[in-house]
Amino acid sequence: MTPACSRVMAVTDPTMPLPLEGLLAGGCPLEIEIGCGNGRFLAARAKKQPQTLFLGIERMLSRVRKLDKKARRLGLDNIRILRLEAFYTFYYLLPPHRARAVYVFFPDPWPKRHHHNRRLFSPLFIDALWARLEIGGTIQIATDHQEYFSDTRKRLAADPRFAEIPSMERDESEQTDFEMLFRRQSLPIGQCAFRSLPHTETPLPPLMIDESDEPRERG
């Protein structure tokens, strides 16, 4: 991997899959964290596994900048950051069956029922997740939101493309910022993990724009 000054990836052609292969020398493993925040987990893993490329997807600019700064300060050349929306990235931009692991720690829970359609773990996201994971690749999930946790776990457990496995062990250095906050408050944290299984490949369906997503006047 060629060290770059900034670890933030430029998307030069959004009509094409991301040019990750140039970064993945010799077919090195790719691991992706969605909503990586300030990157505490990602940086700790990247330090431990220098031969793996770690891609953080985060849409909040201040967090992207913090992680970029941290990766440069620590000389972590195996981190790349995408300031993009994760569903879009999975659906359109990532190469097929390439990620060895995907991590989703403390995703926005969107607790109100009428906001549930904004949650990451929709049926279409799960299709895209399977299509981007290597066969045998893993998804690790943690959240403090019990209802979102059991809903997501149920969805994946009922999906023939995934099998539940024990969650990974993470030491203190691999806890995320939100996790440390929730642990300090003694909030219960749900964790689960799944492995992707071989399954008939079907193309991701074309997306329909839900009218309820159209901008509306407030009030």
Ligand X SMILES: C[S@@+](CC[C@H](N)C(=O)[O-])C[C@H]1O[C@@H](n2cnc3c(N)ncnc32)[C@H](O)[C@@H]1O
Phi-psi group of 166: left, alpha or beta (phi > 0 → left; psi -120 to 50 → alpha; rest → beta):
beta
Given the complex with ligand X, which of 20 and 28 has the nearer CB atom? 20
Q: How many residues bind ligand X (CB under 6 A)?
A: 20
**x/- site string to ligand X, residues 4 to 33, per CB under 6 A?**
------------------------------
Stretch that binds ligand X, among 79-87, 130-138, 185-193, 205-213 (CB under 6 A): 79-87
Would you count residue 57 as binding ligand X (CB under 6 A)? yes
Q: Is 197 exposed, middle or buried (0-12, 13-18, 19+ CB in 10 A)?
A: middle
> What is the closest distance, in whole angstroms, from the C-beta atom of residue 69 to ligand X in the complex?
16
Judged by CB under 6 A, which of 60, 163, 187, 207 binds ligand X? 60
Tell me: does residue 178 bind ligand X (CB under 6 A). yes
Annotated catalytic, 159?
Answer: no
Residue 37 near ligand X by CB under 6 A: yes
Question: Angle, to 10 degrees, between the axis of helix 146-157 and the axis of helix 123-132?
Answer: 60
SS3 state at 93: helix
Distances (CA, A) of 215 to 110, 207, 210, 211, 212: 18, 18, 11, 9, 8
User: How many beta carbons lie within 10 A of that of residue 70, not counting itself?
Assistant: 18
Examine residue 177 and tell whether it contacts ligand X (CB under 6 A).
Answer: yes
Q: Could you say whether residue 162 binds ligand X (CB under 6 A)?
A: no
> What's the CA gap between 112 and 119, in Å, rounded?
11
- Selected from 31, 58, 68, 127, the binder of ligand X by CB under 6 A is 58
Q: Which amino acid is at 125?
A: F
Instruction: Give how far the C-alpha of residue 77 lies from the chain's centroid of Cα atoms, to the nearest Å.
Output: 19
From 13, 21, 85, 164, residue interacting with ligand X (rule: CB under 6 A): 85
Q: Which residues bind ligand X (CB under 6 A)?
A: 35-37, 57-60, 63, 85-87, 105-108, 120, 176-179
